[in-house]
Amino acid sequence: MEKILDRFLRYVAVDTQSDPQSESQPSAEKELSLLKMLRDELLEMGVEAQLDEFGYVMGRIPSNCSEDIPAVGFIAHVDTAPDASGKDIKPQIIRDYDGGDIPLKGVEGLALSPSDFPEMLSYKGHTIITTDGTTLLGADDKAGVAEIMDAVQYIVEHPEFKHGDICIGFTPDEEIGRGVVKFDVKKFGARYAYTMDGGAVGELEYENFNAASACVRIQGRNLHPGYAKGKMLNAILIGMELNSLLPVEQRPEYTEGYEGFYHIIGFEGSVEKAEFSYIIRDHDIDLYEQRKKFIQKCVDFINEKYGEGTATVEIKHQYYNMRKEVEPHYHIVEKAKKAMEMEGIVPLIKPIRGGTDGANLSFMGLPCPNIFAGGHNFHGKLEFVPLESMEKASKVILNIVSLYCE
């Protein structure tokens, strides 16, 4: 078998950053490079697989059990976040980690330190894969991709391993909230599925944020600054004033658990025009709707103060909390929990402070909780993943398959 580390390093070498400004599917042509690679690897292993026009790879391993067993799916996304570059990734492999700081050698003075990330101490003696500090790593979610492919390879090479129908799915554009908008659940063929897209070992999630994006546009009025008194409307300053209306304590850096937030993720502007981009998150559907209304109230206040049309907002729904759709099938959560315990892992069931493809899939008729992929510090240059965590995730996949076969 190919080692999971070699597989992971091969996948992160492919730049698959998705593009939120693109309207195409997938959003970036380069995502197809890895998707084609995965399709071909499945075919080479003798697994029925295809890549469709929307960038979805779907594979299927037929059951070798005589019993009527529900088909189970495993899904991961190939794209990396727009928040940091995913090009020319130079991973560092730290073997037998000693618990100290890990210098990220591509940027002088930058290091991963247990003083900032105490969870690193849980991995003393492990092999840790980091970035060099110039890019993200791509463990979100190429660790999940590698884990699924590692499990597939084991199943193919061990015909004595009993299993029902297994469905494999790889998606583009999850990081920009469009991962499964055209995913054909019926064609995929699974009755239940799991995304391998969580963080640390043991994470098991069937609740996530309700999510929306908001784009606030400010129309200013520019004049020569020497003659601007009583006439100029500075779009940048008006936008900053609107942003100041949002409660400071409801920013991501001050929230945890079930607490929602408003998060400004982008700004571009001049005196004449400015644009402020936000994401809105809350686990509670009523609070989520209130947050969207509050953004609109802030815009209305600005228009009342500076004139109608000064501010406009476009709010787009992204996904809902999957709990409503997964909880009636709670046995799938119980199976994942038991699969972890079989590997000596203590399951940590908690809400996702984010979202996965599984959120939308659950509302499309495919209940789909989320399982750890092993990584930490996603979406940035301090991302890392322990090799042993990926190995455990692959074994959890096999255990889930076995439990369904029982």
Catalytic residue numbers, as ranges: 79, 174
Handedness of CA 215, 218, 219, 222 (dihedral sign): negative
- Residue 334 CA: distances (Å) to CA of 39, 341, 356: 31, 11, 19
Q: Which two tokens stand for residue 3?
A: 């080692």
Count CA within 13 A, CB hemisphere, residue 163: 23
Closest to 312 (Cα-Cα) out of 217, 174, 376: 217
Q: At residue 380, what is the residue type?
A: G
Whether omega for the bond prior to residue 26 falls within 30 degrees of 0, making it cis, is yes
| CA–CA dist 263, 382 (Å, integer) | 20
Residue ranges of E strands in 143-297? 166-171, 192-198, 203-205, 210-219, 261-269, 273-282
- Counting every residue written for the chain, the total comes to 406
Residues 173/293, Cβ–Cβ less than 8 Å: no
